[in-house]
Amino acid sequence: MTEPSYLAAVRESYDTVADDYAALVKSPSALDPLSRSMLTAFAELVRASGRGPVADVGCGPGKVTAHLAGLGVSPFGIDVSPKMIELARGAYPGLHFSVGSMTALEIEDDALGGILAHYSTHHTPPELLPVVFAEFHRTLAPGGHLLLVGHVGAGEHRRPAQAYGGHPVSFESYRLPTDQLAQLLNQAGFSSNAQLVQEPDEDLKWKIASFLAHKPTAEETSLTS
């Protein structure tokens, strides 16, 4: 597939803000208890299924990838921003990171035990989310788990002029309704395990949703058909 045009803006913007993002973003151990618990549950499910490594797609500077390694799974990171990958490699030399896009993963079919998309799908124009979710489904082994976490809303489309550290950025972002994301995951072939919706409060600026889902095994598919 030829690269979708929005990716150039995402790459360039995250290359520009990478250093400040890495300095500003909370380490996963400093996240709120519910967000941490979803990462822990995801890692436990992946470990129990014993189906393969975990791709952290849109891994940024690799902090969450490293957190997953600490939870006993075998993660690697992929990001469209070469600068983010350079930072991740520098910070975590024992882990593997590569430049790539979730719209066309360079990963074989059924190869992964898990996929984490942690605040990384919101720059994808909604009409391209089915492409991304199809890639997640293609590369996960049957029985493998997906954890998708991000801001949700009423379908707002934002074009911030500046981001992390006040740098000019040209990316766009979308806050889709929770139900719409759940439906898109279902349409891509995922079975939902759990959904966590966190309302904004004094610590949380925007509404967050976490979707824990899996790719059904052949047995599960035959039971439900």
Ligand X SMILES: C[S@@+](CC[C@H](N)C(=O)[O-])C[C@H]1O[C@@H](n2cnc3c(N)ncnc32)[C@H](O)[C@@H]1O
What amino acid occupies position 154?
A
Total interface residues for ligand X by CB under 6 A: 22
Q: Give the whole-angstrom CA distance, residue 218 versus residue 215.
A: 10
Q: For residues 31 and 143, which CB has a smaller minimum distance to ligand X in the complex?
A: 31
Q: For residues 18 and 143, which CB has a smaller minimum distance to ligand X in the complex?
A: 18
Q: Find the part of the chain contacting ligand X (CB under 6 A) among 37-45, 86-94, 98-106, 184-192.
A: 98-106
128 binds ligand X (CB under 6 A): no
88 binds ligand X (CB under 6 A): no
Q: Determine the Cα angle at 36 with ends 32 and 39, to 5°.
A: 155
Q: Give the whole-angstrom CA distance, residue 106 versus residue 89.
A: 19
64 binds ligand X (CB under 6 A): yes
Q: Find the part of the chain contacting ligand X (CB under 6 A) among 42-50, 113-121, 180-188, 189-197.
A: 113-121
- DSSP 8-class letter at 26: P
- CB contact at 8 A, 119 and 150: yes
57 forms beta bridges with 78
- Applying the rule CB under 6 A, the residues between 18 and 37 that interact with ligand X are 25
- CB contact at 8 A, 112 and 52: yes
- CB atoms < 10 A from the CB of 127, how many? 8
Considering only 80, 129, 141, 181, the residue that binds ligand X (CB under 6 A) is: 80
* Angle at which helices 63-70 and 82-91 cross, to 10°: 40
Q: For residues 172 and 220, which CB has a smaller minimum distance to ligand X in the complex?
A: 172
Cα end-to-end span (Å), the chain: 32
Q: Find the part of the chain contacting ligand X (CB under 6 A) among 34-42, 116-124, 191-199, 200-208.
A: 116-124
14 binds ligand X (CB under 6 A): yes
Q: For residues 64 and 95, which CB has a smaller minimum distance to ligand X in the complex?
A: 64
Q: Which residues bind ligand X (CB under 6 A)?
A: 7, 10, 14, 25, 57-60, 63-64, 78-81, 84, 101-103, 118-120, 123
